[in-house]
Structure 1
Protein backbone atom coordinates (compact mmCIF):
# COMPACT_ATOMS: atom_id res chain seq x y z
CA UNK A 1 0.00 0.00 0.00
CA UNK A 2 1.41 3.40 -0.98
CA UNK A 3 0.64 6.67 0.72
CA UNK A 4 0.45 9.82 -1.36
CA UNK A 5 2.15 12.80 0.17
CA UNK A 6 1.01 16.36 -0.27
CA UNK A 7 3.70 18.48 -1.96
CA UNK A 8 5.03 21.43 0.03
CA UNK A 9 3.37 24.82 -0.34
CA UNK A 10 4.78 28.30 0.21
CA UNK A 11 2.53 31.35 0.46
CA UNK A 12 3.87 34.89 0.63
CA UNK A 13 2.80 38.49 0.06
CA UNK A 14 4.90 40.88 -2.01
CA UNK A 15 4.59 44.65 -2.31
CA UNK A 16 4.51 45.84 -5.94
CA UNK A 17 6.25 49.15 -6.55
CA UNK A 18 4.30 51.31 -9.00
CA UNK A 19 1.06 50.67 -10.90
CA UNK A 20 -0.08 47.08 -11.40
CA UNK A 21 -3.38 45.45 -12.26
CA UNK A 22 -3.73 41.69 -12.17
CA UNK A 23 -6.99 41.99 -14.13
CA UNK A 24 -5.36 43.89 -17.00
CA UNK A 25 -2.37 41.55 -17.08
CA UNK A 26 -4.69 38.53 -17.05
CA UNK A 27 -6.71 39.97 -19.94
CA UNK A 28 -3.58 40.16 -22.07
CA UNK A 29 -2.15 36.81 -21.00
CA UNK A 30 -5.38 34.93 -21.77
CA UNK A 31 -4.83 35.69 -25.44
CA UNK A 32 -1.09 35.01 -25.47
CA UNK A 33 -1.20 31.47 -26.84
CA UNK A 34 2.57 30.74 -26.71
CA UNK A 35 2.56 30.90 -22.90
CA UNK A 36 -0.20 28.28 -22.58
CA UNK A 37 -1.49 29.98 -19.45
CA UNK A 38 -3.84 27.86 -17.34
CA UNK A 39 -6.46 30.54 -16.81
CA UNK A 40 -8.48 30.09 -13.64
CA UNK A 41 -12.25 30.22 -13.69
CA UNK A 42 -11.95 32.56 -10.72
CA UNK A 43 -11.87 36.06 -12.17
CA UNK A 44 -9.66 37.71 -9.58
CA UNK A 45 -6.69 35.34 -9.74
CA UNK A 46 -4.12 33.92 -12.11
CA UNK A 47 -3.15 30.27 -12.02
CA UNK A 48 -0.03 28.94 -13.67
CA UNK A 49 1.67 25.57 -14.10
CA UNK A 50 5.32 25.73 -15.08
CA UNK A 51 8.83 24.40 -14.58
CA UNK A 52 11.13 26.15 -12.15
CA UNK A 53 14.17 27.21 -14.18
CA UNK A 54 16.46 26.58 -11.23
CA UNK A 55 15.79 22.85 -10.68
CA UNK A 56 13.21 21.95 -13.41
CA UNK A 57 10.59 20.78 -10.94
CA UNK A 58 6.92 21.28 -11.77
CA UNK A 59 5.28 24.14 -9.88
CA UNK A 60 1.67 25.20 -9.48
CA UNK A 61 1.12 28.86 -8.64
CA UNK A 62 -1.86 31.00 -7.73
CA UNK A 63 -1.54 34.79 -7.76
CA UNK A 64 -4.07 37.17 -6.24
CA UNK A 65 -3.87 40.96 -6.07
CA UNK A 66 -4.46 42.55 -2.68
CA UNK A 67 -4.34 46.30 -3.18
CA UNK A 68 -0.74 47.17 -4.01
CA UNK A 69 0.48 43.69 -3.10
CA UNK A 70 0.51 40.26 -4.73
CA UNK A 71 -0.26 37.13 -2.74
CA UNK A 72 1.63 34.25 -4.34
CA UNK A 73 1.02 30.62 -3.44
CA UNK A 74 3.36 28.03 -4.97
CA UNK A 75 3.18 24.26 -4.61
CA UNK A 76 5.77 21.77 -5.76
CA UNK A 77 8.71 19.57 -4.87
CA UNK A 78 11.57 21.94 -5.62
CA UNK A 79 12.93 25.26 -4.41
CA UNK A 80 9.71 27.18 -3.78
CA UNK A 81 11.48 30.40 -2.84
CA UNK A 82 13.14 30.43 -6.27
CA UNK A 83 9.81 29.50 -7.87
CA UNK A 84 8.17 32.49 -6.17
CA UNK A 85 10.87 34.75 -7.58
CA UNK A 86 10.21 33.27 -11.00
CA UNK A 87 6.50 34.07 -10.70
CA UNK A 88 7.30 37.66 -9.81
CA UNK A 89 9.66 37.83 -12.77
CA UNK A 90 7.27 36.46 -15.41
CA UNK A 91 4.56 38.83 -14.19
CA UNK A 92 7.04 41.76 -14.11
CA UNK A 93 5.97 42.59 -10.56
CA UNK A 94 9.55 42.39 -9.30
CA UNK A 95 10.34 45.58 -11.24
CA UNK A 96 10.20 48.99 -9.55
CA UNK A 97 7.60 50.64 -11.76
CA UNK A 98 7.33 53.96 -9.96
CA UNK A 99 9.12 55.71 -12.82
CA UNK A 100 6.74 54.35 -15.46
CA UNK A 101 4.45 57.37 -15.00
CA UNK A 102 7.41 59.63 -15.79
CA UNK A 103 7.58 58.07 -19.26
CA UNK A 104 3.95 59.10 -19.78
CA UNK A 105 4.86 62.67 -18.78
CA UNK A 106 7.53 62.72 -21.50
CA UNK A 107 5.58 60.92 -24.23
CA UNK A 108 1.86 61.48 -24.97
CA UNK A 109 1.63 58.27 -27.04
CA UNK A 110 2.76 56.19 -24.07
CA UNK A 111 0.50 58.25 -21.80
CA UNK A 112 -2.44 57.18 -23.96
CA UNK A 113 -1.27 53.55 -23.88
CA UNK A 114 -1.07 53.65 -20.08
CA UNK A 115 -4.61 55.04 -19.89
CA UNK A 116 -5.94 52.33 -22.17
CA UNK A 117 -4.08 49.53 -20.36
CA UNK A 118 -4.18 50.67 -16.72
CA UNK A 119 -1.76 48.81 -14.52
CA UNK A 120 -0.62 46.51 -17.34
CA UNK A 121 2.77 44.92 -16.89
CA UNK A 122 4.30 42.73 -19.59
CA UNK A 123 3.85 39.04 -18.84
CA UNK A 124 5.12 36.43 -21.21
CA UNK A 125 6.74 33.04 -21.06
CA UNK A 126 7.33 31.27 -17.79
CA UNK A 127 11.07 31.15 -18.49
CA UNK A 128 13.67 31.99 -21.13
CA UNK A 129 13.88 28.24 -21.81
CA UNK A 130 10.23 28.09 -22.85
CA UNK A 131 10.63 31.28 -24.89
CA UNK A 132 13.62 29.75 -26.70
CA UNK A 133 11.73 26.52 -27.37
CA UNK A 134 8.81 28.53 -28.74
CA UNK A 135 11.19 30.49 -30.99
CA UNK A 136 12.37 27.23 -32.54
CA UNK A 137 8.88 25.74 -32.89
CA UNK A 138 7.42 28.88 -34.48
CA UNK A 139 10.12 29.39 -37.09
CA UNK A 140 8.60 29.56 -40.60
CA UNK A 141 5.15 28.30 -39.58
CA UNK A 142 1.98 30.01 -38.36
CA UNK A 143 1.57 30.72 -34.67
CA UNK A 144 -1.50 28.50 -34.43
CA UNK A 145 0.44 25.56 -35.87
CA UNK A 146 3.35 26.15 -33.50
CA UNK A 147 0.97 26.42 -30.54
CA UNK A 148 -0.55 23.05 -31.47
CA UNK A 149 2.91 21.43 -31.60
CA UNK A 150 3.84 22.96 -28.25
CA UNK A 151 0.60 21.72 -26.70
CA UNK A 152 1.17 18.22 -28.06
CA UNK A 153 4.69 18.18 -26.60
CA UNK A 154 3.27 19.29 -23.27
CA UNK A 155 0.51 16.67 -23.31
CA UNK A 156 2.76 13.79 -24.38
CA UNK A 157 6.06 14.56 -22.68
CA UNK A 158 5.37 17.22 -20.04
CA UNK A 159 4.33 16.81 -16.44
CA UNK A 160 0.80 17.72 -15.43
CA UNK A 161 0.44 20.63 -17.83
CA UNK A 162 4.03 21.89 -17.61
CA UNK A 163 6.19 22.03 -20.73
CA UNK A 164 8.74 19.16 -20.91
CA UNK A 165 11.94 19.63 -18.94
CA UNK A 166 15.18 20.22 -20.87
CA UNK A 167 16.47 16.73 -20.05
CA UNK A 168 13.32 15.26 -21.58
CA UNK A 169 13.51 17.39 -24.73
CA UNK A 170 17.18 16.50 -25.14
CA UNK A 171 16.27 12.80 -25.27
CA UNK A 172 13.47 13.11 -27.83
CA UNK A 173 13.76 12.54 -31.57
CA UNK A 174 10.77 14.45 -32.86
CA UNK A 175 9.30 14.46 -36.34
CA UNK A 176 9.59 18.19 -36.94
CA UNK A 177 10.34 20.09 -40.15
CA UNK A 178 13.79 21.33 -41.01
CA UNK A 179 16.34 21.45 -38.20
CA UNK A 180 13.84 22.11 -35.42
CA UNK A 181 14.68 18.88 -33.60
CA UNK A 182 18.40 19.75 -33.62
CA UNK A 183 17.66 23.30 -32.49
CA UNK A 184 15.40 22.10 -29.65
CA UNK A 185 18.21 19.87 -28.43
CA UNK A 186 20.56 22.87 -28.44
CA UNK A 187 18.03 24.91 -26.44
CA UNK A 188 17.71 22.07 -23.94
CA UNK A 189 21.49 21.86 -23.54
CA UNK A 190 21.74 25.62 -23.02
CA UNK A 191 19.01 25.48 -20.37
CA UNK A 192 20.73 22.64 -18.52
CA UNK A 193 24.02 24.57 -18.67
CA UNK A 194 22.37 27.62 -17.07
CA UNK A 195 22.69 29.82 -20.15
CA UNK A 196 18.90 30.38 -20.24
CA UNK A 197 18.42 31.07 -16.54
CA UNK A 198 15.97 33.95 -16.07
CA UNK A 199 17.85 35.31 -13.07
CA UNK A 200 21.16 35.13 -14.91
CA UNK A 201 19.91 36.85 -18.08
CA UNK A 202 18.27 39.58 -16.01
CA UNK A 203 21.59 40.25 -14.32
CA UNK A 204 23.50 40.77 -17.56
CA UNK A 205 23.73 43.95 -19.60
CA UNK A 206 21.07 43.68 -22.34
CA UNK A 207 23.59 43.56 -25.16
CA UNK A 208 25.51 40.78 -23.41
CA UNK A 209 22.33 38.81 -22.74
CA UNK A 210 21.27 39.08 -26.39
CA UNK A 211 24.71 37.99 -27.60
CA UNK A 212 24.77 34.97 -25.29
CA UNK A 213 21.33 33.81 -26.38
CA UNK A 214 22.39 34.12 -30.02
CA UNK A 215 25.21 31.75 -29.18
CA UNK A 216 22.64 28.95 -28.90
CA UNK A 217 22.27 27.04 -32.16
CA UNK A 218 19.08 28.02 -33.98
CA UNK A 219 18.47 31.30 -32.12
CA UNK A 220 19.01 34.41 -34.22
CA UNK A 221 18.53 38.10 -33.40
CA UNK A 222 14.72 37.99 -33.44
CA UNK A 223 14.63 34.90 -31.21
CA UNK A 224 17.21 36.39 -28.84
CA UNK A 225 15.04 39.47 -28.33
CA UNK A 226 12.03 37.28 -27.60
CA UNK A 227 14.00 35.25 -25.05
CA UNK A 228 15.40 38.29 -23.24
CA UNK A 229 12.32 40.53 -23.44
CA UNK A 230 9.49 38.00 -23.11
CA UNK A 231 11.35 35.13 -21.44
CA UNK A 232 13.50 36.92 -18.86
CA UNK A 233 11.08 39.88 -18.90
CA UNK A 234 13.90 42.41 -18.94
CA UNK A 235 12.25 45.84 -18.64
CA UNK A 236 14.55 48.03 -20.72
CA UNK A 237 15.44 46.26 -23.97
CA UNK A 238 14.31 47.78 -27.26
CA UNK A 239 13.27 45.21 -29.90
CA UNK A 240 15.15 46.00 -33.10
CA UNK A 241 13.90 43.10 -35.21
CA UNK A 242 10.13 43.43 -34.70
CA UNK A 243 8.63 44.79 -37.91
CA UNK A 244 5.16 45.27 -36.43
CA UNK A 245 6.57 47.41 -33.63
CA UNK A 246 8.46 49.56 -36.15
CA UNK A 247 5.26 49.94 -38.16
CA UNK A 248 3.34 50.96 -35.04
CA UNK A 249 5.96 53.54 -34.06
CA UNK A 250 5.80 55.06 -37.54
CA UNK A 251 2.01 55.11 -37.41
CA UNK A 252 1.82 56.68 -33.95
CA UNK A 253 4.74 59.11 -34.18
CA UNK A 254 5.21 59.78 -37.88
CA UNK A 255 8.65 59.84 -39.49
CA UNK A 256 9.89 63.25 -38.44
CA UNK A 257 12.07 61.70 -35.73
CA UNK A 258 14.19 58.56 -35.74
CA UNK A 259 13.13 55.44 -33.85
CA UNK A 260 16.18 55.87 -31.60
CA UNK A 261 15.15 59.41 -30.68
CA UNK A 262 11.57 58.38 -29.97
CA UNK A 263 12.38 55.30 -27.92
CA UNK A 264 15.09 57.02 -25.91
CA UNK A 265 12.24 58.75 -24.05
CA UNK A 266 11.02 55.33 -22.88
CA UNK A 267 14.10 54.54 -20.76
CA UNK A 268 14.32 52.66 -18.41
CA UNK A 269 11.15 50.88 -19.55
CA UNK A 270 11.70 50.42 -23.27
CA UNK A 271 10.45 46.82 -23.17
CA UNK A 272 7.29 47.91 -21.35
CA UNK A 273 6.55 50.66 -23.84
CA UNK A 274 7.14 48.35 -26.78
CA UNK A 275 4.84 45.65 -25.38
CA UNK A 276 2.12 48.22 -24.66
CA UNK A 277 2.21 49.45 -28.27
CA UNK A 278 2.26 45.89 -29.64
CA UNK A 279 -0.65 44.82 -27.41
CA UNK A 280 -2.78 47.77 -28.50
CA UNK A 281 -1.87 47.23 -32.16
CA UNK A 282 -2.94 43.59 -31.89
CA UNK A 283 -6.27 44.62 -30.36
CA UNK A 284 -6.79 47.06 -33.21
CA UNK A 285 -5.62 44.96 -36.16
CA UNK A 286 -5.75 41.31 -35.09
CA UNK A 287 -2.49 40.74 -36.98
CA UNK A 288 -1.35 37.73 -34.96
CA UNK A 289 -3.35 34.53 -34.82
CA UNK A 290 -4.40 33.52 -31.32
CA UNK A 291 -5.59 30.20 -30.02
CA UNK A 292 -8.14 29.74 -27.29
CA UNK A 293 -6.81 29.98 -23.74
CA UNK A 294 -6.20 26.71 -21.92
CA UNK A 295 -8.55 26.67 -18.96
CA UNK A 296 -7.89 24.92 -15.71
CA UNK A 297 -10.09 22.04 -14.68
Structure 2
Protein backbone atom coordinates (compact mmCIF):
# COMPACT_ATOMS: atom_id res chain seq x y z
CA UNK A 1 0.00 0.00 0.00
CA UNK A 2 1.35 3.43 -0.98
CA UNK A 3 -0.12 6.29 1.01
CA UNK A 4 -0.56 9.49 -1.00
CA UNK A 5 -0.82 12.96 0.58
CA UNK A 6 -2.35 15.86 -1.33
CA UNK A 7 -3.88 19.29 -0.80
CA UNK A 8 -7.43 20.07 -1.84
CA UNK A 9 -7.84 23.75 -2.72
CA UNK A 10 -10.98 25.46 -1.46
CA UNK A 11 -13.02 28.46 -2.52
CA UNK A 12 -13.52 30.60 0.59
CA UNK A 13 -15.41 31.06 2.75
CA UNK A 14 -15.15 27.40 3.72
CA UNK A 15 -15.71 26.10 7.25
CA UNK A 16 -14.81 22.42 7.45
CA UNK A 17 -16.42 22.19 10.90
CA UNK A 18 -19.81 22.64 9.23
CA UNK A 19 -18.96 19.85 6.79
CA UNK A 20 -18.22 17.45 9.63
CA UNK A 21 -21.33 18.47 11.55
CA UNK A 22 -23.53 17.89 8.54
CA UNK A 23 -22.00 14.51 7.67
CA UNK A 24 -22.30 13.34 11.28
CA UNK A 25 -26.08 13.52 11.00
CA UNK A 26 -26.60 12.87 7.28
CA UNK A 27 -29.01 9.89 7.22
CA UNK A 28 -28.07 8.30 3.84
CA UNK A 29 -24.44 7.76 4.94
CA UNK A 30 -24.95 6.85 8.59
CA UNK A 31 -22.15 4.57 9.78
CA UNK A 32 -20.12 5.08 6.59
CA UNK A 33 -17.62 7.67 7.83
CA UNK A 34 -15.81 8.95 10.87
CA UNK A 35 -16.16 12.67 11.62
CA UNK A 36 -14.32 13.22 14.88
CA UNK A 37 -12.35 16.33 13.94
CA UNK A 38 -11.47 14.85 10.54
CA UNK A 39 -13.28 12.94 7.84
CA UNK A 40 -12.45 9.25 7.39
CA UNK A 41 -14.26 7.51 4.57
CA UNK A 42 -13.81 4.98 1.75
CA UNK A 43 -14.39 5.03 -1.99
CA UNK A 44 -14.23 2.54 -4.84
CA UNK A 45 -12.04 3.17 -7.88
CA UNK A 46 -11.09 0.77 -10.62
CA UNK A 47 -11.87 -2.39 -8.68
CA UNK A 48 -10.17 -1.45 -5.42
CA UNK A 49 -11.18 0.28 -2.20
CA UNK A 50 -9.35 3.46 -1.25
CA UNK A 51 -9.65 4.86 2.23
CA UNK A 52 -9.20 8.58 2.62
CA UNK A 53 -8.76 11.11 5.38
CA UNK A 54 -9.51 14.82 5.07
CA UNK A 55 -8.34 17.38 7.60
CA UNK A 56 -8.45 21.15 7.72
CA UNK A 57 -5.10 22.77 6.93
CA UNK A 58 -3.68 26.29 6.65
CA UNK A 59 -3.88 26.31 2.85
CA UNK A 60 -7.06 24.34 2.18
CA UNK A 61 -7.79 20.74 3.05
CA UNK A 62 -5.21 18.02 3.56
CA UNK A 63 -6.13 14.74 1.84
CA UNK A 64 -4.48 11.39 2.52
CA UNK A 65 -5.30 8.39 0.32
CA UNK A 66 -4.92 4.82 1.59
CA UNK A 67 -5.27 2.47 -1.39
CA UNK A 68 -5.17 -1.31 -1.34
CA UNK A 69 -2.49 -1.21 -4.03
CA UNK A 70 -0.41 1.60 -5.55
CA UNK A 71 -2.35 4.16 -7.54
CA UNK A 72 -1.43 5.46 -10.95
CA UNK A 73 -1.12 9.23 -11.37
CA UNK A 74 -4.40 9.37 -13.29
CA UNK A 75 -6.18 7.51 -10.49
CA UNK A 76 -4.78 9.88 -7.87
CA UNK A 77 -6.05 12.83 -9.89
CA UNK A 78 -9.45 11.19 -10.37
CA UNK A 79 -9.82 10.64 -6.63
CA UNK A 80 -8.62 14.16 -5.86
CA UNK A 81 -11.27 15.58 -8.17
CA UNK A 82 -13.98 13.23 -6.87
CA UNK A 83 -13.33 14.04 -3.21
CA UNK A 84 -13.10 17.79 -3.88
CA UNK A 85 -16.41 17.59 -5.74
CA UNK A 86 -17.93 15.49 -2.94
CA UNK A 87 -17.00 18.23 -0.45
CA UNK A 88 -18.16 21.06 -2.73
CA UNK A 89 -14.72 22.58 -2.19
CA UNK A 90 -14.77 24.76 -5.30
CA UNK A 91 -18.32 26.12 -4.94
CA UNK A 92 -18.45 29.92 -4.93
CA UNK A 93 -21.00 30.84 -2.28
CA UNK A 94 -20.75 34.60 -2.87
CA UNK A 95 -23.55 34.82 -5.50
CA UNK A 96 -25.89 33.11 -3.05
CA UNK A 97 -24.72 35.24 -0.14
CA UNK A 98 -25.32 38.40 -2.18
CA UNK A 99 -28.93 37.41 -2.79
CA UNK A 100 -29.40 36.25 0.81
CA UNK A 101 -28.13 39.67 1.93
CA UNK A 102 -31.31 41.11 0.41
CA UNK A 103 -33.47 38.66 2.37
CA UNK A 104 -33.71 39.70 6.03
CA UNK A 105 -35.21 36.37 7.08
CA UNK A 106 -32.22 34.44 5.73
CA UNK A 107 -29.68 36.59 7.56
CA UNK A 108 -29.55 34.46 10.74
CA UNK A 109 -29.38 31.25 8.67
CA UNK A 110 -26.43 32.48 6.61
CA UNK A 111 -24.61 33.77 9.68
CA UNK A 112 -25.06 30.45 11.48
CA UNK A 113 -23.91 28.39 8.48
CA UNK A 114 -21.42 30.84 6.99
CA UNK A 115 -18.81 28.91 5.01
CA UNK A 116 -20.94 25.78 4.80
CA UNK A 117 -20.34 23.99 1.50
CA UNK A 118 -22.95 21.28 1.00
CA UNK A 119 -21.29 17.83 0.88
CA UNK A 120 -22.62 15.63 -1.88
CA UNK A 121 -22.58 11.89 -2.31
CA UNK A 122 -19.28 10.55 -3.61
CA UNK A 123 -20.92 9.74 -6.95
CA UNK A 124 -24.26 10.57 -8.58
CA UNK A 125 -24.68 6.83 -9.09
CA UNK A 126 -24.74 6.34 -5.32
CA UNK A 127 -27.42 9.04 -4.99
CA UNK A 128 -29.54 7.43 -7.68
CA UNK A 129 -29.31 4.06 -5.94
CA UNK A 130 -30.17 5.64 -2.60
CA UNK A 131 -33.18 7.37 -4.16
CA UNK A 132 -34.44 3.96 -5.30
CA UNK A 133 -33.73 2.23 -2.00
CA UNK A 134 -35.40 4.84 0.18
CA UNK A 135 -38.69 5.02 -1.74
CA UNK A 136 -41.55 3.95 0.55
CA UNK A 137 -39.13 2.42 3.03
CA UNK A 138 -38.11 3.47 6.56
CA UNK A 139 -34.62 4.90 6.89
CA UNK A 140 -33.26 1.88 8.77
CA UNK A 141 -34.51 -0.52 6.09
CA UNK A 142 -33.04 1.58 3.25
CA UNK A 143 -29.70 1.76 5.06
CA UNK A 144 -29.67 -2.00 5.51
CA UNK A 145 -30.29 -2.52 1.79
CA UNK A 146 -27.56 -0.05 0.89
CA UNK A 147 -25.15 -1.79 3.23
CA UNK A 148 -26.00 -5.15 1.65
CA UNK A 149 -24.89 -3.79 -1.73
CA UNK A 150 -21.67 -2.42 -0.24
CA UNK A 151 -20.87 -5.64 1.60
CA UNK A 152 -21.46 -7.80 -1.45
CA UNK A 153 -19.92 -5.68 -4.20
CA UNK A 154 -18.17 -2.69 -2.64
CA UNK A 155 -15.36 -2.66 -0.13
CA UNK A 156 -14.29 -1.78 3.39
CA UNK A 157 -11.54 0.35 4.91
CA UNK A 158 -11.10 0.56 8.68
CA UNK A 159 -14.76 -0.30 9.18
CA UNK A 160 -15.98 2.28 6.66
CA UNK A 161 -17.93 0.69 3.77
CA UNK A 162 -17.35 1.88 0.21
CA UNK A 163 -20.39 1.94 -2.05
CA UNK A 164 -19.88 0.11 -5.37
CA UNK A 165 -19.17 1.87 -8.63
CA UNK A 166 -21.34 1.01 -11.64
CA UNK A 167 -18.54 -1.24 -12.92
CA UNK A 168 -18.70 -3.27 -9.68
CA UNK A 169 -22.35 -4.09 -10.43
CA UNK A 170 -22.20 -4.23 -14.22
CA UNK A 171 -22.42 -8.02 -14.44
CA UNK A 172 -25.43 -8.40 -12.17
CA UNK A 173 -28.77 -9.47 -13.62
CA UNK A 174 -32.13 -8.40 -12.26
CA UNK A 175 -32.22 -11.75 -10.47
CA UNK A 176 -28.88 -11.03 -8.84
CA UNK A 177 -30.20 -7.74 -7.54
CA UNK A 178 -33.32 -9.50 -6.27
CA UNK A 179 -31.15 -11.88 -4.27
CA UNK A 180 -29.64 -8.88 -2.45
CA UNK A 181 -32.69 -6.61 -2.45
CA UNK A 182 -35.87 -8.64 -1.85
CA UNK A 183 -38.07 -6.20 -3.69
CA UNK A 184 -38.80 -6.79 -7.37
CA UNK A 185 -39.47 -3.16 -8.22
CA UNK A 186 -36.32 -1.90 -6.51
CA UNK A 187 -34.20 -4.68 -8.02
CA UNK A 188 -35.34 -3.75 -11.52
CA UNK A 189 -34.75 -0.06 -10.86
CA UNK A 190 -31.24 -0.69 -9.49
CA UNK A 191 -30.43 -2.80 -12.54
CA UNK A 192 -31.66 -0.04 -14.86
CA UNK A 193 -29.76 2.68 -12.99
CA UNK A 194 -26.57 0.59 -13.00
CA UNK A 195 -26.76 0.03 -16.74
CA UNK A 196 -27.49 3.70 -17.41
CA UNK A 197 -24.52 4.98 -15.40
CA UNK A 198 -21.98 2.71 -17.09
CA UNK A 199 -19.29 4.96 -18.54
CA UNK A 200 -21.13 8.17 -17.62
CA UNK A 201 -18.78 10.83 -16.24
CA UNK A 202 -19.83 13.05 -13.34
CA UNK A 203 -18.12 16.06 -14.91
CA UNK A 204 -20.16 15.64 -18.09
CA UNK A 205 -23.45 15.50 -16.16
CA UNK A 206 -22.43 18.48 -14.04
CA UNK A 207 -21.71 20.58 -17.16
CA UNK A 208 -24.51 19.45 -19.49
CA UNK A 209 -27.69 21.51 -19.91
CA UNK A 210 -29.84 21.15 -16.82
CA UNK A 211 -33.05 20.13 -18.56
CA UNK A 212 -31.27 17.48 -20.60
CA UNK A 213 -29.78 15.86 -17.49
CA UNK A 214 -33.10 16.03 -15.69
CA UNK A 215 -34.91 14.43 -18.62
CA UNK A 216 -32.28 11.69 -18.80
CA UNK A 217 -32.74 10.93 -15.11
CA UNK A 218 -36.52 10.92 -15.40
CA UNK A 219 -36.20 8.38 -18.18
CA UNK A 220 -34.58 5.86 -15.84
CA UNK A 221 -36.83 3.17 -14.38
CA UNK A 222 -37.54 4.00 -10.73
CA UNK A 223 -36.46 7.66 -10.88
CA UNK A 224 -39.23 10.22 -10.43
CA UNK A 225 -39.33 13.99 -9.89
CA UNK A 226 -38.10 13.96 -6.30
CA UNK A 227 -35.38 11.39 -7.00
CA UNK A 228 -34.15 13.32 -10.04
CA UNK A 229 -33.91 16.54 -8.04
CA UNK A 230 -32.08 14.70 -5.27
CA UNK A 231 -29.49 13.44 -7.78
CA UNK A 232 -29.17 16.87 -9.37
CA UNK A 233 -28.61 18.64 -6.05
CA UNK A 234 -26.65 16.11 -4.00
CA UNK A 235 -24.96 14.12 -6.74
CA UNK A 236 -24.14 16.82 -9.26
CA UNK A 237 -24.28 20.09 -7.35
CA UNK A 238 -26.85 21.52 -9.77
CA UNK A 239 -28.45 24.38 -7.83
CA UNK A 240 -29.93 26.31 -10.76
CA UNK A 241 -33.49 25.22 -10.37
CA UNK A 242 -36.25 23.84 -8.21
CA UNK A 243 -39.48 22.62 -9.70
CA UNK A 244 -42.55 23.96 -7.94
CA UNK A 245 -45.18 21.27 -7.72
CA UNK A 246 -47.64 21.22 -4.86
CA UNK A 247 -47.93 17.45 -5.06
CA UNK A 248 -44.26 16.55 -4.59
CA UNK A 249 -42.39 15.68 -1.38
CA UNK A 250 -40.15 18.67 -2.17
CA UNK A 251 -42.93 21.06 -1.22
CA UNK A 252 -43.44 19.46 2.18
CA UNK A 253 -39.69 19.35 2.83
CA UNK A 254 -39.23 23.01 1.93
CA UNK A 255 -42.28 24.22 3.82
CA UNK A 256 -41.10 22.36 6.93
CA UNK A 257 -37.65 23.94 6.61
CA UNK A 258 -38.83 27.42 5.58
CA UNK A 259 -41.64 28.11 8.06
CA UNK A 260 -39.34 28.52 11.11
CA UNK A 261 -37.47 31.14 9.04
CA UNK A 262 -40.27 32.90 7.12
CA UNK A 263 -43.39 32.17 9.10
CA UNK A 264 -46.53 30.34 7.98
CA UNK A 265 -45.93 30.43 4.21
CA UNK A 266 -48.35 29.22 1.59
CA UNK A 267 -46.94 27.12 -1.25
CA UNK A 268 -47.32 30.09 -3.62
CA UNK A 269 -45.36 32.35 -1.26
CA UNK A 270 -42.64 29.72 -0.91
CA UNK A 271 -42.09 29.45 -4.67
CA UNK A 272 -42.15 33.24 -5.01
CA UNK A 273 -39.24 33.46 -2.56
CA UNK A 274 -37.40 30.70 -4.39
CA UNK A 275 -37.81 32.58 -7.66
CA UNK A 276 -36.05 35.60 -6.17
CA UNK A 277 -32.93 33.48 -5.82
CA UNK A 278 -32.76 32.75 -9.56
CA UNK A 279 -30.03 30.22 -10.34
CA UNK A 280 -29.13 30.06 -6.63
CA UNK A 281 -32.52 28.71 -5.59
CA UNK A 282 -31.09 25.25 -5.04
CA UNK A 283 -28.45 26.74 -2.73
CA UNK A 284 -31.21 28.58 -0.88
CA UNK A 285 -33.08 25.29 -0.41
CA UNK A 286 -29.88 23.57 0.74
CA UNK A 287 -29.29 26.18 3.45
CA UNK A 288 -32.89 25.97 4.63
CA UNK A 289 -32.82 22.18 4.79
CA UNK A 290 -29.34 22.12 6.32
CA UNK A 291 -30.40 24.50 9.06
CA UNK A 292 -33.18 22.04 9.85
CA UNK A 293 -30.77 19.10 9.74
CA UNK A 294 -28.38 20.82 12.13
CA UNK A 295 -31.08 21.67 14.63
CA UNK A 296 -33.59 18.81 14.49
CA UNK A 297 -33.85 15.06 14.37
CA UNK A 298 -31.50 13.96 11.55
CA UNK A 299 -33.96 11.32 10.41
CA UNK A 300 -36.16 14.16 9.15
CA UNK A 301 -33.36 15.35 6.81
CA UNK A 302 -33.30 12.18 4.70
Q: Report the TM-score when normalising by structure 2.
A: 0.82
Deviates more, 1:258-267 or 1:139-148: 258-267
Matched, 1:246 2:255: yes
Distance 1:104 1:68, change over 3 A: farther
Matches within 5 A, 1:75-154: 75-76=66-67, 77=71, 79-154=75-150
Residue aligned with 2:277, SS: coil
- Is contact 2:292–2:301 with CA below 8 Å preserved after alignment? no
Looking at structure 2, the residues matched to 228 and 256 of structure 1 have their Cα atoms a distance apart, in angstroms, of 22
Picking from 3, 18, 25, the partner of 1:31 is: 25
Aligned to 1:215: 219
Distance 1:36 1:86, change over 3 A: farther
Matched, 1:19 2:6: no
- Listed one character per residue, the Cα deviations across residues 165-206 of structure 1 (whole Å, up to 9, x for unaligned) are 324434133242241111111111112141xx3212110222
Looking at structure 1, the residues matched to 212 and 260 of structure 2 have their Cα atoms a distance apart, in angstroms, of 31
Residue aligned with 1:106, SS: coil
- Is contact 1:109–1:252 with CA below 8 Å preserved after alignment? yes
Deviation at 1:239, TM superposition (A): 5.6
Aligned to 1:3: none
Deviates more, 1:208-217 or 1:251-260: 251-260
Deviates more, 1:263-272 or 1:144-153: 263-272
Q: Report the TM-score when normalising by structure 1.
A: 0.83
Residue aligned with 1:140, SS: coil
Picking from 55, 58, 62, the partner of 2:53 is: 62
- Is contact 1:229–1:237 with CA below 8 Å preserved after alignment? no
More helix by share: 2
Looking at structure 2, the residues matched to 41 and 58 of structure 1 have their Cα atoms a distance apart, in angstroms, of 19
Matched, 1:51 2:35: no
Deviation at 1:129, TM superposition (A): 0.4
Distance 1:124 1:35, change over 3 A: farther
Deviation at 1:289, TM superposition (A): 5.4
- Is contact 2:8–2:62 with CA below 8 Å preserved after alignment? yes
- Listed one character per residue, the Cα deviations across residues 55-100 of structure 1 (whole Å, up to 9, x for unaligned) are 5653322212224612223343461101111111111112122333
Gaps of 5+ in 1: 1-5, 292-297
* Equivalent residue pairs, number: 280
What is the CA RMSD across the aligned residues, in angstroms? 2.6
Matched, 1:74 2:65: yes
Deviation at 1:117, TM superposition (A): 2.0
Gaps of 5+ in 2: none
Looking at structure 2, the residues matched to 41 and 207 of structure 1 have their Cα atoms a distance apart, in angstroms, of 35
